[in-house]
């Protein structure tokens, strides 16, 4: 019998790569969406293929219970979130409800459907749960690189909400004996990344300028450093975490950092351009509280999961710029892409 997985946030970048990976592994894959009329579903199916859909909302406890009862999954991957960090200051309450409390509601749905209580612990065939935690939880870092024991100091409502989701996952694991894990993923990008994220903003900007569709690109802090990897590599790590004998949390990243300036320089050179002739610094794109440096220590994942990233930073940026050059040359609009930031 094939394993059955339920993915929240399946219409986002990570959900699409995870769905592809699980299908390749022989899984039956279900995606949770907020309504039958969701326009992203048909476009998702064109790209992913044999994915089944059930309705549910991370804001609605009852709908999540119904979805888990209907699908009867072996594994639940909670990737649904309001994941664009700058937006979390503008919609702080909604971010807390979706990105934070949505984790609690999903865990509760699994607990209720499984009949788990303080006096009744789950058996060997229990539903396994993966929570998408984030390096943004580290925020103002206490040490570099960051590992599973590094304290959190989030610097955005998004990071705070993710921290809650991380701790409530840990709490359900310890309180109810549930197989619940968190993957603390550092920045992971791809050609499917939403156009508002800095990596995709840069690759699209370089492509537009190269094709004569724009003359400049406006950016904020060029000195922030991130540990950037390829989203497809990180989807493999998610499945590996749920395939272990015991539930544990893992940091997933490359262990290398680049600045936004280095990202811009390489992307523009890939497009045959000099970034200094086209990039304009704009204070409007500066965060109220910046996270200056994030760098993963993925030693535990390497040793226990056997996981290693396969795509380099240079390979990732090249992939994104070349994809956007093709996209714009074919007169497609980025906003029409199937993988969007609205994936909760």
Is the distance from CB of 78 to CB of 102 less than 8 angstroms?
A: yes
Bridge partners, residue 182, by sequence: 131
C-alpha–C-alpha distance, residues 54 and 220, integer Å: 39
Q: Shortest CA distance to 316 belongs to which of 225, 184, 146, 200?
A: 200
Looking at the chain, how many residues does it have?
344
Question: Of these residues, 133, 163, 182, 190, which one is catalytic?
Answer: 163
Structure tokens at 258: 């680049």
Q: Shortest CA distance to 35 belongs to which of 7, 55, 15?
A: 55
* Whether residue 145 has a cis bond before it, omega within 30° of 0: yes
Bridge partners, residue 313, by sequence: none
Question: What does R_g of the chain's alpha carbons equal in angstroms?
Answer: 20
Q: Identify whether 163 is a catalytic site residue.
A: yes
DSSP string of 81-150?
A: S---HHHHHHTHHHHIIIIIIHHHHHHHHHHHHHT-BTTB---TTPPEEEEEEEGGGT-S-SSSSB-TTS
Catalytic amino acids? 163
């Amino acid at each position: 019998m094939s394993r059955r997985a339920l993915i929240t946030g399946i219409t986002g970048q990570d959900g699409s790569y995870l769905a592809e990976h699980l299908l390749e592994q022989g899984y039956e894959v279900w995606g949770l969406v907020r309504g039958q009329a969701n326009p992203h579903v048909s476009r998702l199916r064109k790209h992913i293929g044999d994915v089944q859909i059930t309705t549910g909302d991370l804001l609605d406890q009852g709908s999540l219970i119904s979805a888990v009862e209907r699908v009867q999954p072996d594994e639940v991957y909670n990737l649904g979130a309001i994941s664009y960090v700058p937006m979390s200051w503008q919609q702080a309450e909604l971010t807390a409800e979706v990105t934070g409390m949505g984790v609690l509601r999903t865990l509760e749905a699994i607990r209720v459907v499984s009949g788990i209580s303080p006096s009744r612990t789950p058996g060997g065939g229990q539903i396994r749960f993966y929570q998408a935690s984030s390096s943004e939880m580290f925020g103002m870092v206490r040490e570099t690189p960051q590992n599973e024991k590094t304290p959190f100091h989030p610097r955005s409502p998004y990071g705070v909400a993710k921290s809650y989701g991380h701790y409530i996952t840990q709490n359900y694991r310890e309180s109810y004996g549930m197989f619940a894990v968190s993957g603390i993923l550092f920045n992971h990008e791809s050609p499917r990344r939403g156009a508002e994220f800095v990596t995709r903003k840069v690759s699209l900007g370089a492509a537009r300028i190269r094709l004569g569709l724009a003359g400049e690109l406006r950016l904020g802090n060029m000195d922030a450093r991130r540990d950037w990897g390829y989203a497809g590599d990180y989807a493999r790590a998610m499945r590996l975490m749920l395939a272990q004998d015991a539930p544990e949390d893992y940091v997933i990243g490359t262990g290398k950092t680049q600045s936004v300036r280095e990202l811009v320089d390489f992307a523009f050179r890939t497009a045959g351009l000099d970034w200094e002739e086209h990039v304009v610094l704009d204070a409007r794109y500066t965060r109220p509280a910046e996270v200056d440096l994030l760098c993963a220590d993925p030693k535990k994942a390497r040793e226990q999961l056997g996981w290693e990233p396969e795509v380099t930073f240079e390979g990732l940026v090249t992939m994104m710029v070349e994809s956007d050059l093709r996209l714009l040359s074919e007169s497609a609009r980025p906003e029409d892409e199937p993988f969007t930031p609205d994936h909760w």
